């Protein structure tokens, strides 16, 4: 279990690259275990979100979690974009940490609010008049039922990612190596299978500006010049790209086989 990854509170391609290197090349040769959300920390929506591209950032973090070699852990609600709902009054605080630390430390109630299932009262979580912790207003938009019906939702992006990981073992068992290591904005890496199947390129634009990238893969024993797109945000109209001149939208994701 690696807490360093979960403790990084800014989107930084160089910082995530450094941490992934440390973990992937650990001399103890253990199996990494990644998580970005848990019951003791503000959710990634709030730690990384900029108020403009929050949905895109949520998808980017999902792609990072589910395309590395690490065993991934998902915390309830991250697959629908749940946010941290911090109490505004000490009278509403349930967490002992928040009650003793108020107002400097408002506790951990904010990341423990009810799962948002639908638009009904209490978001379908409870039939009681007042649940233990409140359901935020954002639940009207970010809930399971609503997102199931939206093909571009965070929820459906997670489903696509999980299906890819199950279908292509290279995403769970393949080797990892970072490429374009000097890029300050785009975190990119190759996943290579020991069985000789096509390597997979993952590129994550961790900036609010569009990026155009020339991927330098020859030095890693990869001669392919075509990228067969498996998944991208926003959804790509092209299923085939060149390894040069790849355009990534703000906080865009590209997962592609190299041919």
CA 89 to CA 107: how far, in whole Å?
Answer: 12
Fold of 170-258: Immunoglobulin-like (2.60.40)
Question: What is the model's pLDDT at position 164?
Answer: 97
Q: What share of the chain is helix, strand, coil (3-state, %, to 5)?
A: 30, 15, 50
Q: Which helix (H) or strand (E) holds 19?
A: helix 13-24
Question: What is the model's pLDDT at position 5?
Answer: 77
Question: What is the model's pLDDT at position 209?
Answer: 98
CA 134 to CA 109: how far, in whole Å?
Answer: 9
Q: Which pLDDT tens digits describe the chain residue by residue (259 residues)?
A: 666 777 888 999 999 999 999 887 776 677 888 999 999 999 999 999 999 999 999 999 999 999 998 999 999 999 999 999 999 999 999 999 999 999 999 999 999 999 999 999 999 999 999 999 999 999 999 999 999 999 999 999 999 999 999 999 999 999 999 999 999 999 999 999 988 789 999 999 999 999 999 999 999 989 999 999 999 998 876 799 999 999 999 999 999 999 9
Question: What is the model's pLDDT at position 3?
Answer: 66
CA 188 to CA 199: how far, in whole Å?
Answer: 13
CA 223 to CA 235: how far, in whole Å?
Answer: 26
* Domain positions in the chain: 90-141, 170-258
Pick from 69, 253, 255: which is nearest to 170 by CA?
69
CB neighbour class for 209 (10 Å; exposed up to 12, middle 13-18, buried from 19): exposed
Question: What is the model's pLDDT at position 6?
Answer: 75
């Amino acid at each position: 279990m690696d807490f360093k990854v979960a403790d990084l509170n800014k989107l930084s391609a160089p910082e995530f690259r450094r941490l992934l290197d440390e973990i992937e090349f650990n001399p103890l040769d253990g199996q990494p275990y990644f998580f970005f959300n848990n019951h003791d920390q503000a959710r990634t929506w709030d730690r990384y979100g900029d108020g403009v591209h929050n949905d895109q950032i949520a998808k980017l973090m999902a792609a990072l979690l589910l395309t590395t070699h690490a065993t991934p852990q998902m915390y309830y609600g991250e697959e629908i974009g749940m946010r941290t709902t911090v109490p505004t009054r000490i009278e509403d605080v349930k967490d002992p940490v928040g009650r003793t630390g108020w107002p400097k430390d408002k506790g951990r109630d904010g990341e423990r609010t009810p799962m948002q299932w639908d638009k009904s009262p209490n978001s379908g979580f409870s039939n009681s008049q007042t649940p233990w912790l409140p359901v935020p207003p954002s639940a009207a938009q970010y809930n399971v039922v609503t997102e199931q019906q939206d093909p571009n939702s965070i929820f459906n992006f997670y489903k696509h990612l999980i299906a890819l990981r199950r279908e292509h073992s290279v995403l769970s068992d393949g080797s990892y190596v970072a490429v374009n290591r000097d890029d300050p904005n785009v975190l990119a890496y190759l996943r290579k299978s020991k069985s000789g199947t096509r390597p997979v390129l993952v590129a994550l634009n961790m900036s609010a500006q569009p990026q155009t990238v020339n991927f330098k893969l020859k030095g890693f024993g990869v001669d392919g010049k075509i990228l067969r797109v498996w998944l991208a945000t926003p959804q790509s109209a092209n299923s085939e790209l060149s390894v040069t001149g790849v355009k990534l939208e703000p906080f865009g994701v590209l997962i592609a086989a190299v041919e």
